[in-house]
Structure 1
Amino acid sequence: MRTTRARAACGGVLLAALALAGCQWGGDSGAASGRPTLTGTAGGHGAVFLGADDCASRGRERVTEVPCGSERAAARVIARHDGPVGDGPACPGRSDYVLHISESRPSVDEDGDGEVSRGYACMRNLEPPHPGDPGGGGGPRTVVGDCVYGAGRGEVRETPCDASGPRSPEYRVVAAVAVRTACAPGTALYVSLGGAHPVGCAIRV
């Protein structure tokens, strides 16, 4: 479940948060927890290991590149970038999770936890659920249509807008704008989205 930064509109109180990535598991995306290991630096299915449009298996101990028609295929790469995720382009909004790829093992979280990363792959599950979709309750990015709740200690976290998650939604992001003043009256929370329109205008639900 992703935690994101926000500001309360009424008081300007910073809700500090970590930009955790889309390592989703359980009822969210089914992605593996822990730190799965890739087999080798090239999977044998393309010139680039887990390049765009390649597919990957999913497991608690190992993540491998597999043919997309394989029964083991669980997710497809929709974008692939070199270097640490913080230095590269953001994943597309429909990404369900981010897979960090190092020479011998990736980390399925946003900051890489100290791994020396060779790159990162933006992944989308081949079958539902898709937590990266608007309102889905997860994914590596907060997008318009997502819902969040106050998690305590100055944090807000995403949750499915249909209330199917363990926590009910409290706010919905209804617009993305360049500056806070562009949010409509009635905005209850400002959520950090990044990109060209970094301010998310959220209302109570």
Structure 2
Amino acid sequence: MHGRSGWGALAAFAAAGAVLLTGCRGGPQEDGLVGGRAAVSSATARPSGYGAVFLAVDECSSFGRTSFTEVSCTSERAAARVVARHDGTVRDGPRCPATTDFVLHISEQRPSFDEDGDGAVPRGYACMRHLQPPHPGDPGGGGGPRTIVGDCVYDLGDGKVRETACDGSGRHAPEFEVTKAVDDRSDCPASTALYVRLGGTAPVGCARPV
């Protein structure tokens, strides 16, 4: 999926997303994708009867990103809790909370009405938080669907960066850390080495070398 153009626009999420950056002397480059490792998953809903809405806020899912069920949060099978739930698609819907670990796309198999005949109808998406650490969505965690203050990135080239763990435990060493989110590049501190596109109300991330 591709992000929308413009600094203030919401960017799409992807499993191996990259983030737009610009050098301090350069203008905006091609729009990038916000996110980290395994930030978004598509799955088939398998209702288990724990709520009127499948995976409503504060309900829990079992392990798995491509096939999962709703389970009691006290079950030994419970892996993650829903922190936000929205209809529609991630591209067009509200943003997940900043420390979301991953996003589940939910569809219903063999519905009574199928608009395009593919056997599934989109039912929305759930913003998920692991019940136990590690939490890739935390600042510096190296993943999650959003890049936030405290996250670290490395240079991909072509005006893009990708998130990685700040403690060096990821596959790639961190090169820059996002230290501040501001409205405009002119609001970044003098130590800023590049600008990272964050989206939201403070869309510019000020990043310094690690």
State if a TM-score over 0.5 links the two structures. Answer: yes
Task: Name the aligned partner's letter for residue 126 of structure 2.
Answer: A
Find the counterpart in structure 2 of residue 63 from structure 1: 68
Alignment match of 1:101 (pick from 102, 106, 110): 106
Q: Distance in 1 between matches of 2:57 and 2:65?
A: 23
Find the counterpart in structure 1 of residue 125 from structure 2: 120
Tell me how far 1:6 sits from its aligned partner: 1.4
- Whether 2:26 is the aligned partner of 1:4: answer no
Contact residue 77 and residue 123 of structure 1 kept, 8 A: yes
Contact residue 56 and residue 76 of structure 1 kept, 8 A: yes
Q: Cα distance 1:95–1:20, how it changes in 2: closer, same or farther (>3 A)?
A: closer
Q: Distance in 1 between matches of 2:66 and 2:127?
A: 19
Q: Distance in 1 between matches of 2:154 and 2:132?
A: 26
Extract unaligned runs of 5+ from structure 1.
Answer: 25-30, 106-114
The TM-score with structure 2 as length reference comes to 0.81
Q: Distance in 2 between matches of 1:159 and 1:9?
A: 21
Contact residue 36 and residue 142 of structure 2 kept, 8 A: no
Task: Name the aligned partner's letter for residue 179 of structure 2.
Answer: V
Q: Identify which range, 133-142 or 181-190, moves more after superposition.
A: 181-190
Structure number having the greater strand percentage = 2
Find the counterpart in structure 1 of residue 44 from structure 2: 37
Extract unaligned runs of 5+ from structure 2.
Answer: 1-15, 111-119
Q: Distance in 2 between matches of 1:195 and 1:84?
A: 17
What is the aligned-residue identity percentage? 58
- Whether 2:52 is the aligned partner of 1:52: answer no
Q: Distance in 1 between matches of 2:89 and 2:192?
A: 34
Contact residue 22 and residue 96 of structure 1 kept, 8 A: no
The TM-score with structure 1 as length reference comes to 0.83
Q: Identify which range, 178-187 or 71-80, moves more after superposition.
A: 178-187
Larger Rg: 2
Q: Distance in 1 between matches of 2:79 and 2:196?
A: 31
Find the counterpart in structure 2 of residue 110 from structure 1: none
Alignment match of 1:173 (pick from 169, 174, 178): 178
Tell me how far 1:62 sits from its aligned partner: 1.5
